[in-house]
Structure 1
Amino acid sequence: MDGQTAAETLDAAQLGAELGDRATLVQFSSAFCQPCRATRRTLAEVAGMVDGVAHIEIDAEAHLTLVRRLDIARTPTVLVLDAAGTIVRRAAGQPRTADVVAALGQAM
């Protein structure tokens, strides 16, 4: 996950789900996005392996205000949030498990 970072903070109200105690993986998806399905499996697997990490999937089409605010240009886009909800990593496209784990290491 080699995307830029942003000094933006998100909370449970904006995301529609509770943040993880240590970090949160936020995935922006769309209905007919094939890489989104694989990304969902990868992120759910990593969240299941690492205590205190949550995976939240957001339907980009249903949350256009948030998509525009965060400048989400394609799906899947993954944001890695630290415990406070601050975006520490951002990447578009299907991530590799090792990259997700490395990005989490930066967030925790």
Structure 2
Amino acid sequence: MTQPVPVTTAPVGEEDQDLRSLSGLLGPRATLVQFSSTFCAPCRATRRVLERVVATSDGVRHVELDVAEHPHLGERLDITATPTVLVLDADGRVVRRAQGVPTLAQVRAVLATLPV
């Protein structure tokens, strides 16, 4: 049995400026930004979890970025492992950050803290 991934609040700051470049991709309620790498098996598992959340949640969008294709953004956001998931609110601000494969319940719990 896998251990739950701890979800912590991310500091808001310069990373928000970098994420504003994703503004055309933001969901009306929340955006799940997944940083992945090509040969990362846990990234595929994370993709499945996040796609399930999006399929069952209104106003939530999933954006997956390959860190090799976005090295500057990965560096600025201190992405040190894949998968890393950032949860953005409707305004594109980071409200949560987690590394590893989240559970469906963990992602839903974070989304439950955001306005509908």
User: Which amino acid counterpart does residue 12 of structure 2 have in structure 1?
Assistant: A
Shift of 1:105: 1.6
Pick from 62, 65, 78: which aligns with 2:69? 62
Q: Where do residues 81-92 of structure 1 align in structure 2 (5 Å cutoff)?
A: 81-92=88-99
Aligned identity (percent) is 53
Q: CA RMSD in A?
A: 1.5
> Structure 2: 5+ residue runs without aligned partners?
1-5
Instruction: Find the structure with the greater CA-based Rg.
Output: 2
Partner residue, 2:83: 76
> Structure 1: 5+ residue runs without aligned partners?
none
Q: 2:67·2:74 contact (CA, 8 Å) conserved in 1? A: yes
Partner residue, 1:96: 103
Q: 2:84·2:99 contact (CA, 8 Å) conserved in 1? A: yes
SS of the residue 2:78 aligns to: coil
Moved over 6 A (4+): none
Hey, what's the Cα distance between the residues in 2 that align with 1:45 and 1:73? Answer: 25
Normalised TM-score (structure 1): 0.91
